[in-house]
Every structure is written in C-alpha cells, then in structure tokens.
Amino acid sequence: MVMSKPPSDARIRARNEAKILKAAVKIFSLKGFDGTRIAEIADASGLPKANVYYYFATKEAIYETLVERLLTGWDKTLEHIVADREPREALSAYIHAKLEYSRRHVIESRFFANEMLRGGRFLSSGQKKHMQDITRERVEVIEEWIRQGKMVAVEPNHFFMMLWAATQFYADFTTVAAVTLNKSQLTRDDYDCAYETIVKTVLDGCLIAE
Amino acid sequence: MVMSKPPSDARIRARNEAKILKAAVKIFSLKGFDGTRIAEIADASGLPKANVYYYFATKEAIYETLVERLLTGWDKTLEHIVADREPREALSAYIHAKLEYSRRHVIESRFFANEMLRGGRFLSSGQKKHMQDITRERVEVIEEWIRQGKMVAVEPNHFFMMLWAATQFYADFTTVAAVTLNKSQLTRDDYDCAYETIVKTVLDGCLIAE
DNA sequence: AAAAAACCTGACCAAAACGTCAATTTTTGA
DNA sequence: TCAAAAATTGACGTTTTGGTCAGGTTTTTT
C-alpha cells in the first residue's frame, strides 16, 4: 500500500525548481558551465536526473535562469552611492555592503565571476546594457562630487572598477586570501579588517606626507 | 615517395610540448579544468590527439605542468617592493608592472584566476607555502615603511590583496571592463588610465579635505 | 469520485570524451 | 649506413554525458 504524501503547502514546481537552481549555482560557480554535469546537479538537489529535465529542458536553460535571476543582486549594493550623501559616508557604506555581499553570497558572487572570466558568453546584450546603465548612473554621482570639489579628479569608471575588484576579491579568491593570511577559513574579523583597510586607503590614501 | 622533413633545430619534444601547453593554457583559462576537452587541446595545437597523449599521460599532467610553470611568473612583479625604495615610487612601480602583466599575459592571469576560483585544488601545499613566503617578505617591507612613519598603519596583507585585486581585475574581467567603458576591447590608453586612477587613489586617497 | 493535469523516474540511446595500442615513419647516434 | 630510439597516428574500446521516453503515481479540478 502506498501512502500519499500530505499536499505540500509550497507549490511543487516552485519548490523543486528552487532545489535544482540552488544545487546548480553551487556547482556552476565551482566548475563553470562546461565543467558542470547535470547528473551532478541532479545528485546535489536530491532529484533523479530525469526529473531535472522535467523542469529544465537543457543545461543552458538552468544556467540562463540563474544569470537572469542573479543579475538582480548585482546593483543592490550600488544604491548607497547617491549624490546627496557625503562621499566619505556613501563610499564607506558601499564598500561595507559589497564586502558583506561577498561574505554572505560567496557562491552567487563566484558564479558571476566565472561567467565573466569566460567572456560573458551567456549575457544578453540587454543584460550588458543593464549593467552599463547601472554603472553610468553611479559614475555620474562621482562626477558630481568631483565638480563639487569633494573628490579629486579620478576617472570614475576605473575608480568604480577598483572598488568592485577590491571587494569582489573576497568572494572569488577566498582561497588566496586564506593562504595569504595563513588560515583555513576567513572569519568575520577578517572581513572587518578588509573593510578598514580598503576604506582607509581609498578615502585618505596610504601615504604620510613628509 | 615520402620526403623526410629537415631535422628541426629545436628539440622535437620541447617544441611539441610547448605547442600543447600553449594551446592548453588558453583553453583551460577559458573553461577551467573540468570544462576542457583534450581533443580541443589537440586541435588547437595542431597535433592529433594520440600525439598529445604521447607527451602527457593525462589531462591532470598537462594542467599540473602549467600550474608549476606559471607559478614562477607570480612573484616577478613583487620585486619592485623593496624597503630601501620610497613607498610612493615602489608602489607605483608595482602597480604599473602588475597592470602590464595583466595586459600582456591575460591568458596566464586567467588561468590562475580560474584555479583559485575553484579553491586551488591543484596547488600543492608546497606551492601554497611558496605564495605565502613571497607575500610575507613584501608584507614586512610595508611594516617597515609604517614603522618609519612613511605609511599609515594599514593591515599589510589586506593592503596587498587590494592592490592585487585591483590590478588582476583587468586581466580576469576584461569583459566587465569593456562593458563598463562601452568598448569592444581595452586599449593601452585604458590601461594607462587605470594606472593613474589606482595610483592616485591608493597613494593619496580620493577625498579632498574640506 | 472520477477525469484531467501535473509530476516522477527507470531504462534507454546516440554522441562525445578519455585513453590505448599496434603499426608505421622519422630521427638519432655509433 | 643501419639499427635503435623517438615520434606519429588511425583505429579502436570503454566510460561518461546530455537528453528522451513511455508508463507510472500524485495532485488538482470539477
């Protein structure tokens, strides 16, 4: 006699797609698109492979869904950069938020890093444009601050990329960071220290005038 | 009748291994270890697959050879950081050298980024130790500069990681940079501008005191 | 309660991938 | 010059992989 399970409160499709995507982003983030086997995704999500195919037609479909869905998180942190805040305060907040994102969303961060490393093959031109627009808005804020004499005349795009790189680093290259600091894992203190270092350096520079 | 080719001046083994490794690093850097097919390496190096196997027993062997060989380039740029130079001059030189390396050795840079992104599975503990030692030496230089009152008291490890990230970025995430700058490719000017931005910001900060 | 819709999955397939090998050609060294 | 060593490669065998499918079960709808 077969017992029927109690009807799941959550929609079945939603629940299973979530399982699959959660497992997938982890493996994609570690092995990239070409290196990922769907059987592995199936195992990791606790579903038989054929069931994965019931929800997603191809490997590409899974990957594209993730790209689309994770792109949203991309701009969240940038919201701190607004013209009516003081640069010191706004930039500190951005760096903090971005580091926090790197710490708490290592996998998603790496997923994107992987995609970029491969040249953004799966980014639609629409998505690229979105990234551009988001960045341009913030670049304009920087330009405004420069005009107001609150910041030195740095090239805003490269300035942003520097901040992005410095913070993204802690998600993508945790291994390098751990090796450098001679630890097996990064703790919250390490992230705090990273924050201090980046903020202090970027805002006020590292040199002491003679 | 079959003509025998003139005897190659270069040793055959050396020449073919070089061909294979050159093709391999390119593909590995784009697709990572798991994503790379040996047939593809064979095609790219213009050798039949069986011939690739004649020189390298497994895919791992190729990959490990590359890790070992490319690790050497890792520390080159750090040589600029020496205690008897002035920090401004030394750090500028380092940033310049690292950016130049990113520009001219995109593929090798990405190869390592890929490896790190995957957690450095193929790095032996000896190689990790090497990276640590190299870094520690330079950290000591920074500490010396701080002691001499030439630099503000930043955490040297994180300070280095920041520089590393900011410069490495231009090799690993060329795509992001290109999208941001709305170009299809980065030119030398872009790298120069990156240099200016990073140096100015890191050394003197981005803020103007009121 | 019964039909319809949604969900599940073991078994299967064709293509691709890794790796082997025996037979041949080329190069080297005495 | 000629035998041994090194290099080359087409063809093959095995395993893995992406993807399919038919037939079943469960859930939803009416």
* pLDDT (tens digit per residue) in B151-176: 999 999 999 999 999 999 999 999 99
Asked if B208's CB is within 8 angstroms of A205's CB, the reply is no
pLDDT, position A4: 38
**pLDDT above 70 (res B3):** no
Question: How high does pLDDT run on average in chain B?
Answer: 91
A10 touches strand C (CB under 7 A): no
CA torsion, ordered A126, A132, A133, A139, to nearest 10 deg: 180
Q: Of chain A residues 154-193, which have a CB less than 8 A from chain B?
A: 154-155, 157-162, 164-166, 168-169, 172-177, 179-182, 193
CATH topology of domain B12-56: Arc Repressor Mutant, subunit A (1.10.10)
Q: pLDDT at residue B6 above 80?
A: no
A141 contact residues in B (CB cutoff 8 A): none
Q: Which residue is nearest to nucleotide D21 (CA to C1')?
A: A50
Mark out the alpha helices in B58-187 (DSSP H runs): 59-76, 87-104, 106-117, 125-147, 156-172, 174-181
Tell me the mean pLDDT in the region B187-192. 97
Do the domains A71-204 and A12-56 match in fold? no
Model confidence band, residue B15 (pLDDT cutoffs 50, 70, 90): very high
Whole-angstrom CA distances from B111 to A176, B118, B190 are 14, 11, 22
* pLDDT of amino acid B5: 40
**φ/ψ of residue B151, rounded to 5:** -135, 150
What number does CATH give the domain A71-204?
1.10.357.10
With a cut of 70, say whether residue B7 has pLDDT above it.
no
pLDDT at res. A3? 37
Query: What angle do helix axes B87-104 and B156-172 make, rounded to 10 degrees?
Result: 30
Shortest alpha-carbon distance between residue A54 and chain B (Å): 25
Structure-token pair, residue A61: 């479909």
CB count within 10 Å of CB A196 equals 13
Residue A27's nearest CA partner among B141, B13, B188, B32 is: B32
pLDDT at B208: 80
| Protein-contacted positions of strand C (CB under 7 Å) | 6-11, 16-22, 25-28
Task: Please state, in angstroms and rounded to a whole number, the distance separating the CA atoms of residues B141 and B163.
Answer: 15
Cβ pair B206:A179 closer than 8 A: no
Q: Give the number of residues written for chain B.
A: 210
The percent of chain B in helix, strand and coil, each rounded to the nearest 5, is: 75, 0, 25
Q: What is the pLDDT of residue A73?
A: 78
Q: Where are the alpha helices (DSSP H) in A7-58?
A: 12-35, 38-45, 49-55
Query: Does residue B93 register a pLDDT over 90?
Result: yes
User: Assign residue B11 a region: left if phi > 0, alpha if psi is -120 to 50, beta otherwise?
Assistant: beta
pLDDT digits (tens, 9 = 90+) for B46-83: 999 999 999 999 999 999 999 999 988 778 888 999 99
Distance of alpha carbon A151 from alpha carbon A204, whole angstroms? 11
What are the structural domain ranges in chain B?
A: 12-56, 66-204
3-state helix, strand, coil in chain A (%, to 5): 75, 0, 25
Residue A197's pLDDT is 97
Cα–Cα distance for residue pair A44/A48, rounded to 1 Å: 10
Q: How many CB atoms lie within 10 A of CB A140?
A: 13
Using CA atoms, how far residue A11 sits from A25, A64, A68, B66, B162, in Å, is 21, 22, 21, 49, 45
A173 to chain B, minimum CA–CA distance in Å? 6
Please give chain A's pLDDT, 210 residues, in tens: 333 344 455 688 999 999 999 999 999 999 999 999 999 999 999 999 999 999 999 999 999 999 999 988 778 888 999 999 999 999 999 999 999 999 999 999 999 999 999 889 899 999 999 999 999 999 999 999 999 999 999 999 999 999 999 999 999 999 999 999 999 999 999 999 999 999 999 999 888 865
For B125-144, how does the pLDDT look when each residue is reduced to its tens digit (9 = 90+)?
A: 999 999 999 999 999 999 99
Which homologous superfamily does the CATH classification assign to the domain defined by B66-204?
Tetracycline Repressor, domain 2 (1.10.357.10)
Q: Is the CB of A10 under 7 A from strand D?
A: no
What is residue A205's predicted lDDT score, i.e. its pLDDT?
83
Q: Is the CB of residue B48 less than 8 Å from the CB of residue B62?
A: no
B13 has pLDDT over 60:
yes
What pLDDT is stored for residue B37 in this prediction? Answer: 96
Distance A30 CA to C17 C1' (A): 21
Å from B51 to nearest chain A CA?
Answer: 24
Q: Cβ of B53 < 7 Å from strand C?
A: yes
- Per the structure, the residues numbered 12 to 71 in protein chain A that have their CB within 7 angstroms of any atom of strand D are 12, 36-39, 49-50, 53, 57-60
Task: Report the nearest residue to nucleotide D17, CA vs C1'.
Answer: A37
Residues 6+ apart with CB under 8 A from A47: A16, A19, A20
Buried b (16+ CB within 10 A) or exposed e, B187-198: eeebbebbbebb
